[in-house]
Amino acid sequence: MKETNNIKNLFIGLGMGVVLTLAVLGGAIIDRKIGIKLIDKITGKVEKVESVVSGKREIIDEESVVTTVVEKATVSVVTVSISKTNIVSLDPFWGMDFFGGFFGAPGQQREQKIEQDIGTGFIISEDGLIVTNKHVVADTQAKYKVIVGKDEVAEVVNIYRDPISDLAILKVNKTGLTPVKLGDSDKLKVGQTVIAIGTALGEFRSTVTKGVISGLGRGITAGSPFEGSEKLDNVIQTDAAINPGNSGGPLFNSGGEVIGVNVAVSSAGQNIGFALPINIVKESIGNFKSTGQFDRPYLGVVYRMVSKQAALLNEVPSGAYVVEVVSGSPAEKAGVKVEDIITEVDGKKLSDEKNTVLSTYINTRKIGDTITMKIWRDKKEIEIKVKLEKKG
């Protein structure tokens, strides 16, 4: 998993309903034709449903929802495994490797083969396309394979890495696979139930964890000393347990639809995990299927969103505060400067709220589009036009 930090360091890489009785509820509304619904008179919440079909009584609760999702979805979740040969140098005096074993003459080198499960992915097409995180398959010198089901192995023949988001699409030479159903992450609500399936700790395949959506529209900076950092906007926060090895795995809603791709977990707190919204993934998949690669528009700024509260305290407008302008980027060519605050894009006001951050809007445009940005600079508002380009 990757390591992340956003104000506090974060670390990369996710409720059983209470069934009340009639006595506790103090009453119920009964429909003899359809079944029996037990309804809390104070909250109006349905705690348990008993449906009578053909003389049989079926208990429908949160547990059965989760087990149904798991039974249907597990066949579409894969384990990603790495295969690589490292060169290990022996001690120049004693001929030992770092583990103290004698493997040759002093100063010699030996090959060390590594094969292990490292992450998770999920199938998106019958003909062998699989989604995972880019950081799971970051080593371009290694070979990868996926394990479908319990022990069916498929070699990865191509890897397509997204240069902007922490996403990758793997291609395996296998057909007849069962793809997942993709949901709509724009319709998510805080508090709704989510289910994660993945290879926890790179050891326990098809591990199931459950929780709720804790927050939406979060912004994190994800990274590690080995892989660098990457800013991820508009991510989903959840308390479902995400562990190293869960990276790249699906986050399901209670309908069995994938609504996120598990990507990070906080090292500074408990039960704080993050997932990329599936709508971002769907855009990437659409671009990939039409072009064969992850071509998306590129602006070329590093920024922090200024919240409404921070804007009021500092007497500046809310928007995207430019921390860095990438050399040679469309933004630099158009005259964007460090410390500018981008307040609007094509008439759409920017803020730190869901779907109004800068990168979210840019990702809805196409390469070659010209956008109009309103910028706050030196206590004045100016207008700049930028032609979006393909990232080189």
Average pLDDT over residues 160-187: 90
Cβ atoms of 1 and 244 closer than 8 Å = yes
Say which CATH topology domain 297-390 has. Answer: Pdz3 Domain (2.30.42)
Catalytic residues: 135, 166, 247
For the cut 80, the answer to whether the pLDDT of residue 341 exceeds it is: yes
Are domains 3-13+181-291 and 297-390 of this chain identical in fold?
A: no
**For residue range 354-387, what is the model confidence (pLDDT) as tens digits?**
567 788 788 778 888 999 999 999 999 999 999 9
**CATH number for the segment(s) 3-13+181-291:** 2.40.10.10
Q: Which residues contact 345 (CB under 8 A, 6 or more apart)?
A: 358, 361, 362, 371, 372, 373, 374
Residue among 282, 248, 294, 80 at smallest CA distance from 172: 80
pLDDT of residue 88: 67
| 53, two tokens | 């079909």
Task: Report DSSP letters for 279-346, one per residue.
Answer: HHHHHHHHHHHHHSS---EE--EEEEEEPHHHHHHHTS-SEEEEEEE-TTSHHHHHT--TT-EEEEET
Which long-range CB contacts under 8 A does 333-336 form with residues at least 24 apart?
333/386, 333/387, 334/384, 334/385, 334/386, 334/387, 335/384, 336/301, 336/373, 336/375, 336/384, 336/386
CA distance 141 to 143: 7
Task: Report DSSP letters for 262-278, one per residue.
Answer: EEEE-SSSSS-EEEEEH
CA-to-CA dists, residue 314 to 156, 306, 309, angstroms: 52, 10, 9
Please state the domain extents for the chain.
Answer: 3-13+181-291, 22-73, 297-390
Bridge partners (DSSP) listed for residue 302: 324
CA-to-CA dists, residue 2 to 63, 132, 370, 390, angstroms: 32, 13, 35, 26
CA distance 210 to 374: 43
**For residue range 61-104, what is the model confidence (pLDDT) as tens digits?**
668 889 999 999 999 999 999 998 877 665 555 444 444 444 45
Residue among 308, 297, 299, 311 at smallest CA distance from 352: 308
CA distance 63 to 240: 15
For the cut 50, the answer to whether the pLDDT of residue 347 exceeds it is: yes
pLDDT of residue 106: 53
pLDDT of residue 7: 32
pLDDT of residue 296: 72
For the cut 50, the answer to whether the pLDDT of residue 197 exceeds it is: yes
pLDDT of residue 33: 35
